[in-house]
Chains A and B, each alone.
Chain A
Amino acid sequence: MAAKTSASPAGRPFDRQAMLKEAGATGLVIFALAFGLLGFRTLDVPGGIDIQYRFGDVAAAVAIGIVGRIALILLRERRPLPVLLTAPPLAVVLLVVLLSKFLFGPETGAELMRFLPFESLVVMWAILIVIVVLGLRAARVHTHMTSVMTAEERDARMDRIGAKVQRAARLLGPLLLGIAVVFPFLPFADRRLLDIGILVVTYIMLGWGLNIVVGLAGLLDLGYVAFYAVGAYSFALLATGLDVSFWVALPFAGLMAATAGVLLGFPVLRLRGDYLAIVTLGFGEMIRIILLNWYEFTNGPDGISGIPRPSFFGLALFKRNVADGHAFHELFGLEFTPIHRIIFLFYLILALALVVNIFTMRIRKLPVGRAWEALREDETACRSLGINPRNTKLTAFGIGAMFGGFAGSFFATRQGFISPESFTFIESAVILAIVVLGGFGSQIGVVIAAILLIGLPEFFRELQQYRMLAFGMAMVLIMIWRPAGLLAHREPTIRLFGKGRAKEAEP
């Protein structure tokens, strides 16, 4: 079909009226949306609230929508010439106007800028990017006459890319690990960057933990944050109440979370898919609400403060003056700086995350791991092969929860203060988004997704108000183009031919 249309691009009937109708419909939709959202704005003025009318912006949005739609239709109908001719000049003009401040000085710049619709420059830059992309696509259509790939072609191509990245992951993995290891000592690694690094690695660890449940065992868990909370509170209560050190409490916190995981697992064993997701969602909320209301035990909404910082493996503390015992900087004869503790925390979470990764890599090649994947594929067939679905699911829940618990303990000791507010549903959603975006079951995909979803927004804090917009947009695009995730390529756990390759899949 594609060959036929590309062979006779001009011979294809082109319905101008249909095009205008479609563009008009787009304009109507945009008008309906923009009229309310863009058209009015409440302003704080002395003595109350005033309404600012921005119908110019509404008109601009509708016009941009209609023109953009027409361009898309033209590309779809393989008539790229009008787009090709209008996009470059438009882009240049827009670019010049946007940069006019620097090109012609601030006054002329301000003068020119007044012609632009919308207050926010970010939107204009986004529009510029769209115009450039449209222009490039038009050029492609013009030269190849095959710009619009069919869904299968695109899927196949993305699969190839996924396989390539997966292969590259064997190099990329150690490379990223190397970067992570030297990261605290890089000249630009200040306190803020280290904090972002710790945050990203925490989410990578959570993503890897959830990946066991969702990616391998195929059990959609919307309440993963519950185990994170159980781990954090276990550690916090042990540390503040019984004065147990981090290293002793860590396994216990993991155990508590695993127990919570198995407890959740039992009632949901029979549920699949959506029903399971709903129950896990409820479980996550239950834990949060218990933490919020069990005031005598958890301190309720006030949270737990004064959680001790981790010591250097029980040998030394990260303090300037230590009454009894040693201080880290004295032990190593260094000058005291508070950054030592941050660096230590970074390595701590990195090590924890690597434990999860190595564990997952290994367990995938063990009978349990294969049974998890088989269970994801077909539970009935598993039963017919003598696999116990109950125990297999419970191990997945338990182990996934245990790693969540470890991450929770780390979170508690890093923050020094926890409250139920840290464990809301949105956390579960973000962790799940990391797994889905990265590609179910893909370890390196989780890393990339965590950097994209957690790291980048931290860098672009100035664009705060667009963060969730971009986040949502990214998720929608992924669901359209790559429903199985960015890197949904699955590496076999064992090969009959070329077994050497299977061994190299370590991180």
Chain B
Amino acid sequence: MSAETAVAQGATSLDLAGPIPGGGEVRLTVEHLTMRFGGLVAIDDVSFQAADGRITAIIGPNGAGKTTVFNCLTGFYKPTVGRLALHHPKGEFLLERIEGFRTAQDAGVARTFQNIRLFPRMTVLENLIVAQHNKLMRASGYTVFGLLGLKRYREAEEKAVELARYWLDRTLLTKAADQEAGNLPYGDQRRLEVARAMCTEPVLLCLDEPAAGLNPRESQLLNQLLMFIRDEHKMGILLIEHDMSVVMGISDHIVVLDYGRKISDGTPEQVRSDPAVIRAYLGEDEDEEPVGETAAGQESAAREGDERDA
């Protein structure tokens, strides 16, 4: 156990010094991120980097702390320890110091949610217009010009609709634009949430299990959308995902968490063959037992592995 940890931590510091697995310019640097809830350590000293124009997947068994990392990044939680540096064209933002909603407003970090959070009684188009709130708010002179019906605001709104239209076309939702978002099929709602996040014009997109509950066809559509965002918009995407076909299919860089610690970090090929990852997912095997651990340690580790599988 202790030997493993040492190896993992060693790997961490090495990674941050060298280039990012999968290549690309650094967009986000997470250093020594720790999040405690009372006595519970949800994330324990996790460090990794995410690149621009690449898809970085965060994977791990249930309860590994993936969503907590996201909540720290997007301002929903304040991390106990750690530095979350976003390398933005406007300069560097320290995400841990920014007030919740400003993470999206100023730093340009957009996110989606594990359980879809659309505005169900508003139409699809309205969902995308609301996402451009701050831009439109300025254009409407904080409502004053808008109330007077000035041209400046109307033009801004038309531009906002154009942007919405662009993402509607990309997510194949154009026809449903005037429908209530809550009435869309599940897969469409997932894609709409991605489109809505993109309408905030972010520099980093965080997707929390976007493929959860999708059928293979919908999953395929989503993959295409994410690759389009990565390739055409050169956007960094941070992705939490359980569906291995999605993860292995589209990600350039994978970070594996288990019990709040990082256990592996590398390209999909590296991670796939990493014994620590296999142990975390499949439980410990008799043949692969690491040398130097006590029998009791093995037993408990194996039991934990079984429980996780169940």
- A interface secondary structure, majority: helix
Find chain A residues with CB under 8 A from B153 CB.
366
Partner pick for A493 among B103, B126, B140, CB 8 A cutoff: B126
| Chain A CB within 8 A of B72 CB | no
Known A494-B161, A497-B177; contact A374-B122, beta-carbon cutoff 8 A: yes
Give the most central of A380, A386, A495, A497: most B CB within 10 Å.
Answer: A386
Partner pick for B130 among A371, A389, A492, A496, CB 8 A cutoff: A371
- Please determine whether B118 and A383 come into contact, CB atoms closer than 8 angstroms: no
Partner pick for B101 among A370, A386, A492, A493, CB 8 A cutoff: A386
Find chain B residues with CB under 8 A from A497 CB.
177-178
| Chain A CB within 8 A of B84 CB | no
Interface residue stretch chosen among B19-27, B104-112, B227-235, B301-309: B104-112
| Chain A CB within 8 A of B51 CB | no
Residue of B nearest to A371 (CB): B133
- Please determine whether A496 and B177 come into contact, CB atoms closer than 8 angstroms: yes
- Please determine whether B111 and A384 come into contact, CB atoms closer than 8 angstroms: yes
Partner pick for A494 among B75, B100, B113, B129, CB 8 A cutoff: B129
- Please determine whether A381 and B101 come into contact, CB atoms closer than 8 angstroms: no
Partner pick for A363 among B120, B126, B147, B161, CB 8 A cutoff: B147
Q: A389 CA to B99 CA in the complex, in Å?
A: 12
Shortest distance in angstroms between A496's beta carbon and chain B's nearest beta carbon? 4
Q: A380 CA to B119 CA in the complex, in Å?
A: 10
Find chain B residues with CB under 8 A from A373 CB.
119, 121-122, 126, 130
| Chain A CB within 8 A of B82 CB | no
Known A374-B119, A381-B118, A496-B174; contact A386-B146, beta-carbon cutoff 8 A: no
- Please determine whether A387 and B178 come into contact, CB atoms closer than 8 angstroms: no
| Chain A CB within 8 A of B200 CB | yes
Give the most central of B74, B122, B125, B153: most A CB within 10 Å.
Answer: B122
Residue of A nearest to B149 (CB): A362
| Chain B CB within 8 A of A367 CB | yes
- Please determine whether A380 and B133 come into contact, CB atoms closer than 8 angstroms: no
Contacts of B192-215 to chain A: CB distance below 8 A:
196-197, 200
Partner pick for A384 among B110, B125, B137, B168, CB 8 A cutoff: B110
| Chain B CB within 8 A of A378 CB | yes
Partner pick for B165 among A370, A385, A496, CB 8 A cutoff: A496
Q: How many residues of B contact A (CB 8 A)?
A: 46
Report A368-394 CB contacts with B as 1/0, cut-off 8 Å.
101101100110111111111100000
Report A475-504 CB contacts with B as 1/0, cut-off 8 Å.
000000000000000101111111000000
Find chain B residues with CB under 8 A from A366 CB.
136, 140, 143, 146-147, 153
- Please determine whether B110 and A492 come into contact, CB atoms closer than 8 angstroms: no
Shortest distance in angstroms between A489's beta carbon and chain B's nearest beta carbon? 11
| Chain B CB within 8 A of A115 CB | no
Partner pick for B113 among A359, A380, A382, CB 8 A cutoff: A380
Known A367-B143, A386-B105, A387-B133; contact A494-B125, beta-carbon cutoff 8 A: yes
| Chain A CB within 8 A of B123 CB | yes
Known A377-B122, A496-B177; contact A386-B134, beta-carbon cutoff 8 A: yes
- Please determine whether A383 and B76 come into contact, CB atoms closer than 8 angstroms: yes
Residue of B nearest to A496 (CB): B177
Partner pick for B118 among A359, A378, A395, A498, CB 8 A cutoff: A378
- Please determine whether B122 and A383 come into contact, CB atoms closer than 8 angstroms: no
15 inter-chain pairs at a CB distance below 8 angstroms, sorted by A residue, are: A367-B146, A370-B126, A374-B130, A374-B133, A380-B117, A382-B130, A384-B113, A385-B196, A386-B106, A386-B134, A387-B134, A492-B126, A494-B126, A494-B161, A497-B177
Interface residues of B (CB under 8 A from A): 74-76, 100-106, 110-111, 113, 117-123, 125-126, 129-131, 133-134, 136-137, 140, 143, 146-147, 149, 153, 157, 161, 164-165, 168, 174, 177-178, 196-197, 200
Interface residues of A (CB under 8 A from B): 359, 362-363, 366-368, 370-371, 373-374, 377-378, 380-389, 395, 490, 492-498
